Amino acid sequence: MTIMTVDATRRAQNVSACSFDVFDTFLLRACMTPDGVFERVFQLSRIAEKFQNMSVSFVQHRIQAEARARKLAVERCGAAEVHIAEIYKYFPFRLFGLTRDALQDLAAFEFEAELELCRVNPEMIQQYNDMKRGGFRVGFISDTYWNAAQLARLLRACSPGLTWDFLYASCDHGSSKREALFKTYLAKQGIDAASSFHIGDNHDADIKGARRHGIRPRYYPQASAALASKLNRETSLFELLSPDQPSRLDHGGRTLRRAVAAQSAEHSPGFRLGITVLGPVMAAFDAFIEARRAALAHEGARVAVGFLGRDGFLPHRAWQAAHDGSGAYLEINRRISLVGSADTLEPLCELLRRVVRIDAATFVDIVKVQPPAVMAFFAQFPDGIASGRELADALPDLMGAREITEIAAGVRARLLAYLRATIADFDRCTDLILVDLGYSASVQKSLRRIFDLEGIRIRLHGAYLLTLDDAFDDIADDDTAEGLISDRVVTPHVKRMLIRNVALLEQLCCSAEGSARDYRDGKVLREGDQRPAAQLALTAEIQSGALAYAARARELAPRYALQPYADLAVAARWTAAVLGRLLLLPDDDELALLGGFRHDVNLGTQALAPLLDAGFVNDGVIARGLAAACTAPAPPMWLAGSFAALSPSHGYLYTLFGANRLPADVFGEAPCGTLQVGLFRIDGQASLETVTVHRTGLGELRVRIPLSRRMAVATIALPLANLAREGLLHGVVVQSGESAATAAENSNVKAIADGQLIYAGFERSGRHFRAAGDDGMLLIPVGRLDDEVAIFTMALTSHSHDRILALQDRGADAAPAATLSWRSAAR
């Protein structure tokens, strides 16, 4: 060993260092992934002026160019490291109206995009300075197509005055951190690997690569696996809901979420849900409300802000925390406002038509009087319970106009006393912003009528999270109504899908107290709250997480130089994706956490409806098909969650349906053969009936067997082995009605318990079955039919994996489907 080698070894034993990865560690981008940089290049290069809708194509071609450059580099040199100019050599310039002379321009635009989007990570700069003060040599090791000079310029642009002891870029050395870049760094710097550290976000490159060379790694992941999954689903949903909009640039919203979530990893699942999902939605909503308030104040208005209870409770708390305790919490609901605004019976009838069932006590609780004719009306019904529609139709003959106007006047007087006690300087206000989750501004419209009847000239401005914009045409001329997630953000189809599932959001935002039923001496009187204590406790925990996010985001956004609400149109699209992901594509942790929630109907009733019911959806899919199940009425209140509880794929198919992207001829069902089933009557007689076999878009088989009451069938014998020798039986369900048509449309589907089904000639384990021979039968008990017609539907998946072809119309000479045997259809 030479003297020089001995000296180098001795120096290495005494030199410790701390190296930092650059991108997504020391520097953060105001976009979650590098393809956001590529999207910004598309904008900066002015290509968008010629090819507005080619942003996605540009990004994908940039990704493909890099992949091609790296592949060819491996073939030539045995390493995948390339410089930025080598990447753009393989870019399709002509496609975007460019010549090859634009190569350097595109590379320059990409570096300009990096300068714009990158900012120093405050957490990392603190560690960097701590290591310097601790006597460590500090610097950077990066896998990148930017050379050392470009990296140096970028680092100093993000942190002026920054100095370092070393800087290594993989493209300069033809080797990555996974390969020999760490080895090069140790040798050139004379570093003692055992007493040195490397901090980075990539497990393979930064952690395994450092460990392979004896360097102690510190893992700094971009996001937890759970948050990363949510972000990926959000991006997918964004591209589905807003297909023509840039899906990678969000002014740093997701980067901010990652930073806040990283500091909350040790909290409970409920708190984390608030931090990672509900909090970002509330923060964006708060920014939207503030923009509305500021615009009115700029015009010289005296503005008050009121949050409508009960599900305005969380937005109100978020507003108070951000705006010095201002804003009023107004416990006004649709029921009170409609009655108070009535100068005819029509508003009350409108309310009642939305009630499924109502009794005399509930009616009295709504109107505060007991008209004898109405009491006699209820007495005619079993158990004194009528449908809301029946009562609404009869009410004009049961109550006079004078009665309702007297009732309304009393409600108005008590409501206005409450408003004056709750809203500071109420009578001096010129404008009142009504904040609510949404949707059709019914309370705002009713309050407008109340103000007009009482001569109050305060203008009303609805500020809603979600809106049904076609309901706003009758808003008073001087009033306004606007939603953060309006029909300018997502389509009406999508909006209705979101609102069909919004009961979950309502529960998460709701107060822990019952709904308002009246007022006395300026104070609210409430109904009892029937929701379980455990649900209220979990809701409080989730709300605490949401408020913690809002507070932490306000603190961190300036430190990270992020402005997620600088463009409210962009914020609205991403809020739709974040909220839509929770409502439409929940993950398993969220289903387990929230699946037991109950929704109170909030129309003077004590009923609680389940949010989730996967069995209901499964039975509906068996009986009516996927598309029909997607339109099922409530309950369950959270239909998308009920689909997701079956499988993630079911959840995504439901989302595609709601976005009008589920082609009926692909996911519907089609006839694919016939089958003869045996019908055994109560009197012992038997007959064979031919039924059609259908194949669904997912490859499942359906058999529907219609029966009438007069047929007196006791048992159905279905030759299951003729359909599948082995498979999964998804279930047998029944629909009923006064005719075959009404039975087929009936969404009240009842499943026959597995224990009642008899497998003759089969081995069975759970839903799995295997036929012992060709004569295996499934015996289905019929029982007593309550209606004139019942349709029994059986669904299965065959394990033969044969592709069952649907029957096509082959013209007038073709044999009708009913004459085809199952065997001929399946071959």
Write the pLDDT tens digit of every residue in 195-234: 999 999 999 999 999 999 999 999 998 888 889 999 999 9
d(CA 360, CA 372): 11
pLDDT higher for 433 or 772?
Answer: 433
d(CA 340, CA 349): 13
Beta-carbon count within 10 A of 680 CB: 16
Selecting from 1.20.120, 3.40.720, 3.10.560, 3.40.50, what CATH number does the domain 293-326+426-526 have?
Answer: 3.40.50
Query: What is the model's pLDDT at position 602?
Result: 55
Closest CA to 515 of 335, 328, 306, 317: 335
Average pLDDT over residues 128-140: 95
Instruction: Please give the torsion angle defined by the CA atoms of residues 601, 602, 603 and 604, in that order, rounded to the nearest 10 degrees.
Output: 110
CB 135 within 8 A of CB 95: no
pLDDT in tens, 510-557: 999 999 999 999 999 998 888 999 999 999 999 999 999 999 999 999
Average pLDDT over residues 412-417: 96
Q: Could you tell me which residues come within 8 angstroms of residue 548 by beta carbon, excluding any fewer than 6 positions away? A: 264, 271, 274, 275, 279
Query: What is the model's pLDDT at position 365?
Result: 78
* Helices 55-77 & 35-44 angle (0-180, nearest 10): 120
Average pLDDT over residues 494-516: 96
d(CA 496, CA 627): 15
Give yes or no for residue 93 having a pLDDT over 70. Answer: yes
Structure tokens belonging to residue 573 = 């699209």
CB 310 within 8 A of CB 513: yes
Closest CA to 771 of 779, 782, 763, 780: 763
Same fold, 3-26+121-219 and 293-326+426-526: yes
The tokens 């048992």 sit on which residue? 715
Terminal Cα-to-Cα distance of the chain (whole angstroms) = 79
Give yes or no for residue 27 having a pLDDT over 70. Answer: yes
Average pLDDT over residues 316-344: 93
Beta-carbon count within 10 A of 295 CB: 13
Instruction: Please give the share of the chain, as a percent, with pLDDT higher than 70.
Output: 95
Query: What is the model's pLDDT at position 409?
Result: 94
Average pLDDT, the chain: 91
Distance of CA 123 to the CA centre of its chain: 31
pLDDT in tens, 38-61: 999 999 998 988 888 899 999 999
d(CA 603, CA 609): 13
| pLDDT band with cut points at 50, 70 and 90 for residue 735 | very high
pLDDT in tens, 640-692: 999 999 999 999 999 999 999 999 888 889 999 999 999 999 999 999 999 99
Query: What is the model's pLDDT at position 5?
Result: 38
| pLDDT band with cut points at 50, 70 and 90 for residue 12 | very low
Say what the pTM is.
0.90
Neighbouring-strand partners of residue 516: 526
CB 337 within 8 A of CB 449: no
Distance of CA 87 to the CA centre of its chain: 36
Query: What is the model's pLDDT at position 823?
Result: 37
CB 497 within 8 A of CB 249: no
Give yes or no for residue 13 having a pLDDT over 70. Answer: no
CA distances from 786 to 161, 423, 771, 789 (A): 83, 56, 34, 8
Show me where the domains of the chain are located.
3-26+121-219, 28-116, 293-326+426-526, 346-399, 612-663, 668-826
Selecting from 3.30.450.20, 3.40.50.1000, 3.30.930.10, 3.30.1780.10, what CATH number does the domain 3-26+121-219 have?
Answer: 3.40.50.1000
pLDDT in tens, 749-782: 999 999 999 999 999 999 999 998 888 999 999 9
CB 274 within 8 A of CB 582: no
